[in-house]
Amino acid sequence: LAGTENGDIIHQLEYRISRLEGVLLLNKMITESGGKIFATNGKKADFNATVEKCREAGGSIATPRNPGENESILYFVKYFNTYAYLGIKQSLIPGNFQLLNGAPLRYTNWYSNEPSGKGEE
């Protein structure tokens, strides 16, 4: 009986999560790629506030690791007609970038001659 009850609870939670994701998708607040959910509240903030808000929500600032994830982030850029902060920083070597935790950056999709620091990256 306990196994059945747990199965029912899991099914109910999955259903509720699915409904909530549907509402957020309809409101243009989330996108998905490869099992990851990318979310925004659509409000402007500085980089540190963005990092903190992501942490408070139980996630982290978006860091695209492949073309699909890059497209999910780009969706918000286009929809809100603004830029997006990414979990990437310049390393100690000028012109080289890394993840915020210092790990090497393995995926980039910069425009030609970027990043320049002029907002066109």
Q: What are the start-end ranges of the E strands in the chain?
A: 30-33, 36-39, 88-90, 97-99
The alpha carbons of the chain give a radius of gyration, in whole angstroms, of: 18
* Amino acid occupying residue 35: G
Say whether pLDDT at 118 is over 80: no
Q: Identify the residue whose tokens are 């939670």.
A: 13
Cβ neighbours, 10 Å, residue 2: 6
Inter-residue contact 21 to 30 (CB < 8 Å): yes
27-71 pLDDT tens trace: 678 888 988 989 988 888 999 999 998 999 888 999 999 999 999
Domain spans of the chain?
A: 1-99
2-33 pLDDT tens trace: 567 888 889 889 888 887 777 677 667 888 89
DSSP H helical segments within 41-84, as ranges?
Answer: 47-56, 67-80
- State both tokens at 34: 């490869």
Inter-residue contact 73 to 107 (CB < 8 Å): no
Q: Identify the residue whose tokens are 């196994």.
A: 3
62-111 pLDDT tens trace: 999 999 999 999 999 999 998 899 999 988 888 888 999 999 999 999 88
Fold of 1-99: Mannose-Binding Protein A; Chain A (3.10.100)
